[in-house]
Amino acid sequence: MKKNSRSVPKLSRLSAAVTAATIAFGSVGTAEAANWFKLRGTEPGGTAHTLQVWGFLQPTFVNYDTSAISGAVGKASPLNGTLPIPGTVPPRRTDKSSFYLRRARIGIRGTMIPISNDIDYFILTEMGQNGITRPDHNMTVLDASVTFNQLAGKRRDDGSKGLGMRFRMGQFLFSQTSETLSNSTPGRRVHIWMPEATFQNALGRRVYDQGPGNFTGTKVDGARDIGLEVFDWTEFGDPNSPYEFTYSLGVSNGDGIGIQNADRNYRYYGWLSFAKLFDNTRGPRRHDAQVYGFYQTGDIRFNNDLNGDGVPDHKQINPVTGLGGLAACGGVDACRIANAGNAKDINQKYWGIGVQYFNRPFKGYGQVRFNAQYEKAQGLTFDGQQVPSALFSGPLFENFGLRYNPDGVNEGFYIDAGYDINKHLGIKKRTTINLRYDEYDRNKGNAGRAIHTEQLTLTGEYFFHKKARLTLSYGWRKWDANDRTAGKIIGSSGTPASRHNGNAVLSGVGNRFGAQVTFIFKNVLLR
């Protein structure tokens, strides 16, 4: 509890400072932007190749200033002395400090020559230690897609580009928050950690359609899914500094990485963006300003009435004794089937709006970067472990100890600014300093499960090569359950049990430090 009381005033003052900085940067323009549909779904015209190997490595060290849970009472008292999960190193969630290979991705991309110059492909695999490769840490296919460009808008004689339709099929990163799209490419990733809202809303854990445990998939989906996307962009105005309009519409299984449609429901996606390109720079660090919006929705088959009494449970069964325990129905798979009759379709919605800017607005000075986004997710919400402690995150509790909120409201925002400081320090290599503030409310308005987070992240980057850099991030974090009102009053404090126990857990979530080296490699083998 003491750690939170120290952090609150500090974050409040810093929040005000960042807001002021936002206004200042807003007068310059609006976020380091790029056209991710172009970069990830198509190959550049005039440079067709049949096979290009590419990828990146990110060895990382992190340290969490986490305190053991203390002060929990009643049913939560067994948590005392254990570590709160948000204060531990993923994906094992048992340590406060560790070296690990956070990402190790290798892929191939190119054009389907000699089949067609108008068909591109994109394949990317993950071998790092993260939620995508757990629990077995085997290599996982992240992206495997083909893009058909035959109906794309054509380049006109005046340099402008018309609007058409490109069709992308397979497993890939669907249109959503720009932070997720940009984090898919190491050339644009700045901070080691995402804003909390994007981390929790976009990187989903899909729910299986049956079962007393309301199982999640064993892997984080990495914002990927299997489906079809129609997209294109148009450019108009000055060819050397054009305007750009981009759209995307998609449909997917709604079930995550490597999973076929499990519940006969689909997920639908939409994206619109309008950008001003300032010069001829292209790629993930082009100079432009952009405003965008995204929307996705879909139903998930979910069992929220485990005992069949017609009343939503809003909670999980006890992983050992509920329904007689695992032995009562003959094991995990048998339990899933035996209690599947009460499942219903529950809707999820996820949408957001944002602005981005990246440019060198003043001659003789460094590049300026600014991003801001608001996002909201509504509906079925993954709500973590029943007992939010690293001690109870083993395989048994991971499947049967999970909670969901079928009508959750989860919203957040971030403000992020950065500047190239090397010109002012006499440093020959590119060096940046970046500051981001974000807030997130999970299960907002829920009397027994609401959580509020605030985070201020300071990040420095040093590029010792065009394709290699060192990143240092420090995050000041505050987590609390102060909006909870459910439960009996604890002692004479007047504090409801849900708030008291929630803060007993969350007060241990402290600040964190990370150091990460990024190595990017690319080689065209065949043209």
Concatenated DSSP letters for 287-330? -EEEEEEEEEEEEEEEE--TT-SSS---SPPPTTTGGG-GGGGT
pLDDT band at 363, cuts 50/70/90? confident
pTM for this one? 0.85
pLDDT at 391: 53
pLDDT at 503: 94
3-state SS assignment for residue 338: helix
As a whole number of angstroms, the distance between CA 479 and CA 499 comes to 12
As a whole number of angstroms, the distance between CA 252 and CA 235 comes to 28
Sign, Cα dihedral of 124, 128, 130, 133: positive
pLDDT at 49: 72
Pick the residue with more confidence: 394 or 55? Answer: 55
Q: Which helix (H) or strand (E) holds 521?
A: strand 512-526
| pLDDT greater than 70 at residue 10 | no
pLDDT band at 68, cuts 50/70/90? very high
pLDDT at 313: 54
**For residue 66, with 0-12 CB atoms within 10 Å meaning exposed, 13-18 middle and 19 or more buried, which class applies?**
buried
How confident is the model over 436-479, as pLDDT tens digits? 999 999 999 999 889 999 999 999 999 999 899 999 999 999 99
Task: Kindly state the tokens that stand for 401.
Answer: 């100890």
Task: Kindly state the tokens that stand for 256.
Answer: 């995550």
| pLDDT greater than 90 at residue 148 | yes
Task: Kindly state the tokens that stand for 200.
Answer: 């929790």
Domains and CATH numbers, the chain: 2-526 (2.40.160.10)
